[in-house]
Amino acid sequence: MSEAAFNISTTLQTRRKEVTEKKESIEVKFETAKDQLQKLYAKSKPVRESPQQLEQKIAELERKRTLTSLPLSQEKDILRQIDRIKKSVIQAQENKEHESLIRDKKAEVDALRNEIRSLVAQISELNNAILKIELAGRLHCSTNDLETKVVECPVDKLGEVIGKGGSKLKELQQQTGCVVEVDRNSSKVTLKGNNSAIQHAVKKIEDIILILDDEILLTSKIHSFLFSNGMTPFKELRNNHSEVYIELSKESKKLKVRGKEGAISSLKDAIAQLDVAMETIKVSNKEAGLVIGKGGSMIKSLTEKYSIGVEINKDATESAFVEVVGTSSNVADAVKEINQLLYQNQDVKSVVVVNKLIKNRLLENSGASLKLMQKELNKTFDTNSIRLGFESSKDQDTENAASSALFEIASIQAVHMAAIDVLKQKIAECESNILTVHVDPTIVPKIIGKGGEKIKELKKLGKGSTIEIDKVTGEVSIFSSDENTKNLVKADIDTIVAQNQSLKIPVEEPMIGLIYGNAGKDIRAKIGSKNVTLLRDVPNGFILKGKLEDITAGANLLRDFMALNHTVEIKFDVDDTKILMRKDSIIATLEKESNVKIRMLRSNRILEIRGTEEKAKFAATEIQNFLRGGNGCVVLKIAVLPTIIGAVIGKNGSNISRYENEHPGVKIDVSSINHVMTFRGEENIAYQARQTVLTEMLKIYANDTVDLPADLPKDLSDKDNLRKITNDRSVAISFRGSQAKLRGNYMDVFAVKATILSLISESHESRLALSPKVFDLLCNADEQILENLKNTKSVAVDLDRDYHSVVISGKKSNVKRAKKELMEIIESSCPNLTSIVSAPKYIAHAMSTLVVTDIMAQSGCDLVFDSELGMCLLHATTSSERLANGVRMIEDIVKSCEKKIHVVHFDATESWIANSLLTTYSGLLNDIEKKHGCKIDVLKDEILVTVTKKDLAVPDGAKAALADLLGTAKSQNVFIEIPESSMTQFIGQSSKHIKNFAKTYNVQIERIKKSSCCLHIYGSKVAVSSAAGAVKEWVSEWESKNPGILVKVEPPITDLLVKSEKAKISREFGVKIDVNTEDSTVVVRGGKGNSHDKAVLAIKNLSGIAISHNHSSSGQSSVNEPSIQRNQKKNTLTDDTNRTSSCTQKVVVPSVII
């Protein structure tokens, strides 16, 4: 700085000091004045109203006080108010003076503030001038050379330009000599100095601004590689790119870098070009120690040799992972060396099969010999890895465990094969001292002796030896290094063998028990007296032991005993127990006549027959024929209901005895367990006995009860219900409380009880009572048969074993189908002995208990008649001839009944008539019955009416009367089909139109619930006819107002439309569709534009057939309309009253446009 500049600077600093002192003095005065102003403000007490307003208030109050007569209290109150207002007037005057003082003081404060501002501006100018002079002096230039430059700086870089606590800013000013000012609001940096200093500063700032911070994401391989070998790769990378600051952390795979863009890009390229590979080897913890080496020697060697990084990580298990990272070629070589190291030090185990004697020798004296052999092997191969031992006998093959042992050798792979060779040589030396002798395994116990005494003696012979015996194969091994000792032992064993020869005698299983039981006590004693031991040879029979001549004699004794005691076993059923235990049973007869002995094993249900083979087999055949039938003997079974079993048997079995006396040669038994009576004997006599019992059982009356639920919906005691329940059966029913008591023939009682149970059950229930043989056949059949029946027919199926019945419950139609299929299954199971015969339901009264029993007795067949199905199931026990007789008897009954019954059938469209006859015309039916002495039954399910007269033909008068009644019903009932889309209009709002229509013509009109387009008109003949004509006219008029397109389709398409497609097409095209299922036509009405044509096309696509359509407007036919369509239009109403098969006058209004 020059002297002149220095003087100017001094002068300016002096002036700045004076101005600063003056500013400080004025600031003191300013603060004092400001405090005084605040105090004036605090003392002011503002009054809201002006003095004039206050004076006016006083005047009004005085006027009120003086001119009005007021109570004293009010006058005092007014005076107090006047006093308060006067004080406010005084205060207002004082405020006026106070405000003048505040204005003066405020003007003084403003003047001082303006003077301070002027002085501050002067100080700022002086500071700028002084700084400019000092800057010029610092830069060694004149003030004229100084200039200012503004540099834009990114907001995120402002902090780096300023630095912590302004450190970077100070550093920049010191390095360049410039004055640097940063404006954070505008992100601008202002530089003051000469040109060269400013350029220097600009360059420094640009260096800061252009520096980038970046992160490079490293792969796991490269990250590990940079840390490998003492971080040598990282250091090389940093030295090669010194212009970039690099930061690497073990915790993160991100490499933090800072530098210019080009330098960072060069660093990224260098990292990308690194040829780094990483391989992981899974090892055990023991193998991990090998890779590390003693004191880390192996891992250090690998690192230095291949310039790689090796890291070993252990997990929670017994495993570890060796990670090798480096250049690809180096990693491959290092991994190869590691694998070779692991292989050579891998534990390997092998086994050598040795004689068990050698094992025992080596394990003597706590295994001293084995330990010595192991020590010698380790010394031979200069290692400590060789280990010797024997596998546990439980791990060995049981076939070889007795004579051999598995010698284990374990070592590292490097010496394993050589060690095995040396071991085998040592074993061979030991095996040369073994002598082997083979004996019969059954003699082994004699060689061992009681408590091992004999074998102990053998081991002490000569110089002593080790002896091992395989009890399974009979191999005896003698180990001794002295030949004479081995020969002495062998000679003693040969002597034992000679004294213990054996002979096997095959014996059947039943005979074994006999010989060991009381019956074989004597023969066992005789064999023992021959100095022969009798042993069990499982499972073939016996072994005789002793000298050869002795066991030969014992064998002859045993064979003679077996010849006289040949045994045959026969299984019998639990039902047969009682008849087999009778005093006069077949067992007693055979024992007496055939000289055999028969024992009954009740727990196993086995008959054991003993004697000579011929007699035992003869007795067994006779018993089989008796129990199962054969050789002229039959076994017949009938079911006996639990309710009458006592009556059938009689007191102390008196009835059974009587039946047997009346039919000599027949044995009869009744099982109280299965409720079955069994007849055994010659065929004809057995069937006669069966016929006698069945006939007498008809005389048995039974009592039974049925528990009724409290909430029973039907009154069963009602006359109609009782008639339905009994179905003409002679059963007396009385109701007492919650029970129904039944009394009558036992079979009728059973049938009525089943009917009541079906009525009171939640679902329809039906019982199919079967014969014992058929029921057993069903019980023993595949369970899947009944399961399939349940699933396919949606019913419940249960077996009632007490009543030999199949109980089927569910929806009535499903139950009927299930019963029918079950009967067909039974028929197919026994095609030659079972047959199904149809018997119409209307002859059910003819298949009474008496008739059914008579058919069973006469034909010898078992018969089940199901009135619900109108089917008979016949089953013959012995021959198809009896089955044919039974079928013929049923067919004769059906033919006889049909001659005496007048039947009127109706078709499906006339199903309504059954309900009408039972309701509207029931009184007329009763009149016909009384007049002609006949019975009329209406069968709703079969849609028919039957007329019968007991034992006589139906009178012609009854037939004619019924025909007249049916004609009357038909003329008084008409069913009319109208277009479905017209139905709503015909019924009218709140059914107003249809009610008025019915009232007008004096008829009743109902819409059929199950049909969307059918009306039922009924009343007098004339009224019904008039109403039907009126409906025809109404429909014609409606159709003329609602024209449409007629479409002829196949019947399956009408079904499809009714079920699903009609609503879909109607919604899609905005049309109405009427479907006539009788003549398979469809009419499309309404819609906008060509929507009805589109609807017709949709129907056409459904049908897949050619469709003829007939457009009609204002009652005119289309010119292209086929003649057949025109003819149909001329007869829009078809009167079917003359159809003989019809029950009603059926007037059909087709959906055809006229």
Q: What percent of the chain is predicted at pLDDT more than 90?
A: 4
pLDDT > 60? residue 1106: no
Segment 753-765 shows an average pLDDT of 79
Answer whether 961's CB lies under 8 Å from 932's CB.
yes
Q: In the predicted model, what is the mean pLDDT of residues 47-68?
A: 80
Q: What is the pTM of this model?
A: 0.48
Cα 50 from chain centre? 96
Token representation of residue 748:
């009728």
- Rounded-to-integer distance, Cα 703 and Cα 3, Å: 153
| Per-residue model confidence as pLDDT tens digits over 193-218 | 888 888 888 887 877 776 777 888 88
Q: For residue 539, is the peptide bond before it cis, meaning its omega torsion is within 30 degrees of 0?
A: yes
Q: What pLDDT shows up at residue 1132?
A: 30
Q: Smallest Cα–Cα separation from 1095: which of 1128, 1074, 1116, 1068? A: 1068
Res. 634: pLDDT tops 50: yes
Helix or strand run (H / E) with residue 17? helix 3-43
Spell out a b/e string for 788-808, using b for 16 or more CB atoms within 10 Å of the CB, else e.
ebeeebebebeeeeebbbbbb
Q: Which pLDDT does position 1136 carry in this prediction?
A: 33
- What average pLDDT does range 1017-1024 have in this prediction? 89
Tell which residue, 963, 1005, 1043, has the closest CA to residue 1147. 1005
- pLDDT band of 4, cuts 50, 70, 90: low
Q: CA–CA separation, 841 vs 815, rounded Å?
A: 17
Tell me the angle at which helices 746-760 and 849-859 cross, rounded to the nearest 10 degrees: 120
Mean pLDDT of the chain: 81
Q: Does residue 365 have a pLDDT over 60?
A: yes
Instruction: Give pLDDT tens digits for 921-934.
Output: 888 888 888 888 88
- Comparing 213-222, 490-499, 711-720, 882-891, the range with the smallest average pLDDT is 711-720
Mean pLDDT value across residues 888-897: 87
* For residue 488, pLDDT beyond 80: yes
- Whole-number Å distance between alpha carbons of 1139 and 970: 11
Structure confidence by residue, pLDDT tens digits, 1038-1089: 888 888 888 887 766 666 666 667 788 888 888 888 887 777 788 888 888 7
Is pLDDT of 1113 > 50? no
Percentage above 70 pLDDT, the chain: 92
Q: What is the pLDDT of residue 393?
A: 62
| Number of Cβ within a 10 Å radius of residue 191 | 23
Q: Is pLDDT larger for residue 452 or for residue 67? A: 452
Distance, CA of 278 to CA of 308 (rounded, Å):
10
Are 139 and 198 in contact by the 8 Å Cβ rule? The answer is: no
In tens, the pLDDT along 20-45 reads 888 888 888 888 888 888 888 887 77
Q: Are strands 1145-1148 and 973-977 parallel, antiparallel or unpaired?
A: parallel
Q: For residue range 383-400, what is the model confidence (pLDDT) as tens digits?
A: 888 898 888 765 555 555
* pLDDT (tens digit per residue) in 61-112: 888 888 777 888 888 888 888 888 888 888 777 777 778 888 888 888 888 8
Summary count for the chain: helices (H), strands (E): 43, 44
> Of the segments 186-195, 988-997, 1142-1151, which one has the largest average pLDDT value?
988-997
Burial 5-30 (b: 16+ CB within 10 A, else e): eeebbeebeeebeebeeebeebeeeb
Look up tokens 């299922």; give the residue. 1077
- DSSP strands (E only) in 110-187: 147-152, 179-183
Q: 3-class secondary structure for 945-990?
A: EEEEECCECCCHHHHHHHHHHHHHHHHCEEEEECCHHHHHHHHCHH
Q: How far is CA 500 from CA 47, 410, 446, 453, 474, in A?
A: 150, 45, 8, 17, 13
